[in-house]
Structure 1
Amino acid sequence: MLRHPRWRAAVAAGTAVVCVTTGVATAAPAAAEPDDALDAGRLMAAVEDYCGDGCHDILPPGQNGNATLIEILGHQLFGTRPEHSDTQLPRYDGLLHGYDDLTDAGIDDHFLDASFGVPESEIGTQEQPRDDVTIIRDREHGIPHIYGTTRSGTMYGAGYAAAQDRLFLMDLLRNLGRGRLTPFAGGAESNRALEQSLWRGAPYTEADKQAQIDRVAASGERGAQALADVESYLDGVNAYIDRAEDRRDYPGEYVLTGHKDAVTQAGEIEHFSTTDVVGIAAMVGLLFGGGGGDEVRSALVRAGFWDRYGPEEGERVWRTWRMENDPEAIVTAEGEFPYGQTPGEPVGEAAPDPGSVVPYDIVRDATGTAAGGDQAPPRSGGTEGSGTGTGTVDDLPEADRDRLADLAADGDLSAAEGVFNDGLLPGDLLGGPPSMSNAIVVSGEHTESGHPISVSGPQTGYYLPQLLLVQELQGPGISARGASFPGVSFYVQIGRGADYAWSPTSAGQDITDTFAVELCEPDGGTPTVESRHYRDGADCVALEELSVHNEWRPTVADQTPAGSYTLTALRSKFGLVDGFGTVDGVPVAFATRRSTYLREVDSIIGFQKFNDPGAIGSAADFQNAAMDIGYAFNWHYVDDEQTAFVNSGANPVRTPGTNPNLPIRADSTAGWAGWDPETNGAEYTPLAEHPNSRGADYYVNWNNKPAAGYTSGYATGSVHRGDLLDERLRALVSADEPVTPAAVVRAMQEAATVDLRGDQVLPELLRVLDAAPVTDPGLAAAVAELRAWQEAGAPRRETGPGSGEYAHADAIRIMDAWWPLLVRAQFEPGLGPDLYAALTGVAQIDESPSGHIGGGDPGSVNQGQTHKGSSFQYGWWSYVDKDLRTVLGDEVAGPLGAAYCGGGELDACRTVLLDSLAEAVATPAAEVYPGDAECAAGDQVCADSIVHAPLGGITVDRLPWQNRPTYQAVHEFHDGRG
Structure 2
Amino acid sequence: MPRRTPRTAPDRQRTPRRFPKFLGAASICALIAALLSPLTQAAAADNTTALAANDYCGGQCSDILPPGQNGNATLAQILLNQAFGIQPDHAEDQLGPYSNLASGAATLTDAKINDFFNDASFGVASDQVASTTAPGGRTDVTIVRDKKTGVPHITGTTRYGTEYGAGYAAAQDRLWLMDVFRHVGRGQLTSFAGGAPSNQGLEQEFWRNAPYTEADLQTQIDNAIANNGARGQQALADANAYIDGINAYIDASDSGRYFPGEYVLTGHKDSITNAGTIDHFKITDLVALASVIGSLFGSGGGGEVNNAISLLAAQSKYGVTEGTKVWESFRERNDPEAVLTVHNGESFPYASKPDTAQGEALPDAGSVTQEPLVYDRTGSAGTATATSASATAAATTLTSAKRGMSNALVVSGKYTASGHPIAVFGPQTGYFAPQLLMLQEIQGPGLSARGASFAGLSMYVELGRGQDYSWSATTSGQDIIDTYAVELCQDDYHYLYHGTCTAMDKVERTNSWKPTTADGTAAGSYRMQVYRTKYGPVEYRATVGGKKVAYTTLRSSYMHEADSIIGFQMLNDPDYVKSPQTFQSAVQHINYTFNWFYADSSHTAYYNSGDNPVRAAGVDAEFPIWAQAAYEWQNWDPTTNTASYTPPSAHPNSIDQDYYISWNNKQAKDYTTAPWGDGSVHRGNLLEDRVKKLVAAGGVTRSSLTKAMADAALADLRAEDVLPKLLRVINSSTVTDTTAAAAVTKLSDWVTAGAKRKETSAGSKAYANADAIRILDAWWPLLVKAEFQPGLGTDLYTAFSNNLPIDESPSAAHGPTGAHAGSSFQYGWWSYVDKDIRAVLGESVQGGLSQKYCGGGTLSACRDALISTLKTAAGLTAAQVYPGDDQCSAGDQWCADSIVQRTLGGIKHGKITWQNRPTYQQVVEYTSHR
Q: Please indicate, yes or no, whether the TM-score normalized by the shorter chain is above 0.5.
A: yes
Q: Identify if the C-alpha distance between structure 1 residues 372 and 308 changes in structure 2 by more than 3 Å, giving closer, same or farther.
A: closer
Within the candidate set 818, 822, 845, 1:892 is matched to: 845
Task: Give the Å deviation of 1:423.
Answer: 11
In the alignment, does 2:169 pair up with 1:161?
Answer: yes
**Partner residue of 1:30?**
44
Secondary structure class of the residue paired with 1:290: coil
Q: Identify if the C-alpha distance between structure 1 residues 514 and 2 changes in structure 2 by more than 3 Å, giving closer, same or farther.
A: closer
The 8 Å contact of residues 462 and 948 in structure 1, kept in 2 or not, is answered as yes
**Partner residue of 2:207?**
199
**Partner residue of 1:726?**
688
Q: Which amino acid aligns with 1:631?
A: Y
The 8 Å contact of residues 257 and 557 in structure 1, kept in 2 or not, is answered as no
**Partner residue of 2:775?**
814
Task: Give the Å deviation of 1:41.
Answer: 3.2
**Whole-angstrom distance in 2 between the partners of 1:576 and 1:924:** 47
Within the candidate set 801, 804, 814, 2:765 is matched to: 804
Secondary structure class of the residue paired with 1:182: helix
Task: Give the Å deviation of 1:634.
Answer: 0.2
**Partner residue of 1:6?**
none
In the alignment, does 2:413 pair up with 1:444?
Answer: yes
**Partner residue of 1:376?**
none
Q: Identify if the C-alpha distance between structure 1 residues 232 and 136 changes in structure 2 by more than 3 Å, giving closer, same or farther.
A: same
**Whole-angstrom distance in 2 between the partners of 1:332 and 1:500:** 20
**Partner residue of 2:336?**
327
In the alignment, does 2:132 pair up with 1:118?
Answer: no
The 8 Å contact of residues 257 and 556 in structure 1, kept in 2 or not, is answered as no
The 8 Å contact of residues 185 and 424 in structure 1, kept in 2 or not, is answered as no
Identify the range of structure 1 (63-72 vs 337-346) with the bigger mean alpha-carbon deviation.
Answer: 337-346
In the alignment, does 2:149 pair up with 1:141?
Answer: yes
Q: Deviations over 1:419-446 (max 9, x none)?
A: xx99998454225743231100010011
**Partner residue of 2:636?**
675
**Whole-angstrom distance in 2 between the partners of 1:651 and 1:485:** 24
**Whole-angstrom distance in 1 between the partners of 2:278 and 2:905:** 16
**Partner residue of 2:600?**
639
**Whole-angstrom distance in 2 between the partners of 1:706 and 1:2:** 47
**Whole-angstrom distance in 1 between the partners of 2:308 and 2:2:** 68
In the alignment, does 2:425 pair up with 1:456?
Answer: yes
**Partner residue of 2:434?**
465
**Whole-angstrom distance in 2 between the partners of 1:656 and 1:727:** 38
**Partner residue of 1:877?**
830
Q: Which amino acid aligns with 1:172?
A: V
Secondary structure class of the residue paired with 1:709: strand
**Whole-angstrom distance in 1 between the partners of 2:265 and 2:130:** 30
Task: Give the Å deviation of 1:555.
Answer: 3.1
**Whole-angstrom distance in 1 between the partners of 2:544 and 2:130:** 66
**Partner residue of 1:355?**
366
Q: Deviations over 1:796-848 (max 9, x none)?
A: 00101121211100000000000000000000000000000011001000000
Q: Which amino acid aligns with 1:729?
A: V
**Partner residue of 1:401?**
none
**Partner residue of 1:67?**
73
Within the candidate set 959, 963, 967, 2:916 is matched to: 963
The 8 Å contact of residues 410 and 421 in structure 2, kept in 1 or not, is answered as yes
Q: Deviations over 1:312-366 (max 9, x none)?
A: 1111121111111000000001311110112112211111111011110111111
**Partner residue of 2:678?**
716
Within the candidate set 460, 480, 495, 2:464 is matched to: 495
Task: Give the Å deviation of 1:18.
Answer: 7.4
Q: Deviations over 1:513-547 (max 9, x none)?
A: 000000011xxxxx5xxx11111123211211110
**Partner residue of 2:880?**
927
Q: Identify if the C-alpha distance between structure 1 residues 231 and 2 changes in structure 2 by more than 3 Å, giving closer, same or farther.
A: closer
Task: Give the Å deviation of 1:715.
Answer: 2.0
TM-score (norm 2): 0.94
**Whole-angstrom distance in 2 between the partners of 1:541 and 1:605:** 35
**Whole-angstrom distance in 1 between the partners of 2:39 and 2:650:** 52
In the alignment, does 2:186 pair up with 1:217?
Answer: no
The 8 Å contact of residues 359 and 626 in structure 2, kept in 1 or not, is answered as yes
**Partner residue of 1:365?**
376
The 8 Å contact of residues 185 and 423 in structure 1, kept in 2 or not, is answered as no
**Whole-angstrom distance in 1 between the partners of 2:610 and 2:38:** 46
Q: Which amino acid aligns with 2:278?
A: I
Secondary structure class of the residue paired with 1:739: coil
Within the candidate set 59, 64, 70, 1:53 is matched to: 59
TM-score (norm 1): 0.89
Task: Give the Å deviation of 1:757.
Answer: 0.2
**Partner residue of 2:112?**
106
In the alignment, does 2:928 pair up with 1:972?
Answer: no
**Partner residue of 2:741?**
780
Mark the runs of 5 or more structure 2 residues left unpaired by the alignment.
4-28, 385-389
**Whole-angstrom distance in 2 between the partners of 1:425 and 1:809:** 30
Q: Identify if the C-alpha distance between structure 1 residues 909 and 79 changes in structure 2 by more than 3 Å, giving closer, same or farther.
A: same
Q: Identify if the C-alpha distance between structure 1 residues 18 and 493 changes in structure 2 by more than 3 Å, giving closer, same or farther.
A: farther
Within the candidate set 149, 152, 157, 2:160 is matched to: 152
Task: Give the Å deviation of 1:851.
Answer: 2.2
Q: Which amino acid aligns with 1:316?
A: K
Q: Which amino acid aligns with 1:167?
A: L
**Partner residue of 1:941?**
894
**Whole-angstrom distance in 2 between the partners of 1:849 and 1:884:** 24
Task: Give the Å deviation of 1:87.
Answer: 0.9
**Whole-angstrom distance in 2 between the partners of 1:120 and 1:535:** 68
The 8 Å contact of residues 482 and 496 in structure 1, kept in 2 or not, is answered as yes
Task: Give the Å deviation of 1:557.
Answer: 4.7
Secondary structure class of the residue paired with 1:267: coil
Q: Which amino acid aligns with 1:211?
A: T
Q: Identify if the C-alpha distance between structure 1 residues 19 and 339 changes in structure 2 by more than 3 Å, giving closer, same or farther.
A: farther
1:262-661 to 2 correspondence within 5 Å? 262-333=271-342, 334=344, 335-371=346-382, 426-431=395-400, 433-521=402-490, 531-555=492-516, 557-661=518-622
**Partner residue of 1:81?**
87
**Partner residue of 2:238?**
229
Q: Which amino acid aligns with 2:66?
A: P
Q: Which amino acid aligns with 1:630?
A: N
Task: Give the Å deviation of 1:674.
Answer: 1.1
Q: Identify if the C-alpha distance between structure 1 residues 557 and 40 changes in structure 2 by more than 3 Å, giving closer, same or farther.
A: farther
The 8 Å contact of residues 453 and 463 in structure 2, kept in 1 or not, is answered as yes
The 8 Å contact of residues 194 and 428 in structure 1, kept in 2 or not, is answered as no
**Whole-angstrom distance in 1 between the partners of 2:401 and 2:275:** 40
In the alignment, does 2:871 pair up with 1:918?
Answer: yes
**Whole-angstrom distance in 2 between the partners of 1:580 and 1:706:** 34
**Partner residue of 2:102?**
96
The 8 Å contact of residues 779 and 918 in structure 1, kept in 2 or not, is answered as yes
The 8 Å contact of residues 516 and 590 in structure 1, kept in 2 or not, is answered as yes
**Whole-angstrom distance in 1 between the partners of 2:49 and 2:914:** 41
Q: Identify if the C-alpha distance between structure 1 residues 919 and 681 changes in structure 2 by more than 3 Å, giving closer, same or farther.
A: same
Task: Give the Å deviation of 1:2.
Answer: 12
Mark the runs of 5 or more structure 1 residues left unpaired by the alignment.
4-10, 34-38, 374-420, 522-526, 855-861
Q: Identify if the C-alpha distance between structure 1 residues 541 and 116 changes in structure 2 by more than 3 Å, giving closer, same or farther.
A: same
The 8 Å contact of residues 285 and 600 in structure 1, kept in 2 or not, is answered as yes
Q: Identify if the C-alpha distance between structure 1 residues 265 and 42 changes in structure 2 by more than 3 Å, giving closer, same or farther.
A: closer
The 8 Å contact of residues 473 and 480 in structure 1, kept in 2 or not, is answered as yes
The 8 Å contact of residues 39 and 256 in structure 2, kept in 1 or not, is answered as no
The 8 Å contact of residues 846 and 852 in structure 1, kept in 2 or not, is answered as no
**Whole-angstrom distance in 1 between the partners of 2:37 and 2:790:** 65
**Whole-angstrom distance in 2 between the partners of 1:281 and 1:557:** 30
How many correspondences in the alignment?
896
**Whole-angstrom distance in 2 between the partners of 1:78 and 1:606:** 45
Identify the range of structure 1 (421-430 vs 291-300) with the bigger mean alpha-carbon deviation.
Answer: 421-430
Q: Identify if the C-alpha distance between structure 1 residues 423 and 112 changes in structure 2 by more than 3 Å, giving closer, same or farther.
A: farther
Identify the range of structure 1 (893-902 vs 535-544) with the bigger mean alpha-carbon deviation.
Answer: 535-544
RMSD of aligned alpha carbons = 2.2
**Whole-angstrom distance in 1 between the partners of 2:608 and 2:218:** 28
Q: Which amino acid aligns with 2:98?
A: Y
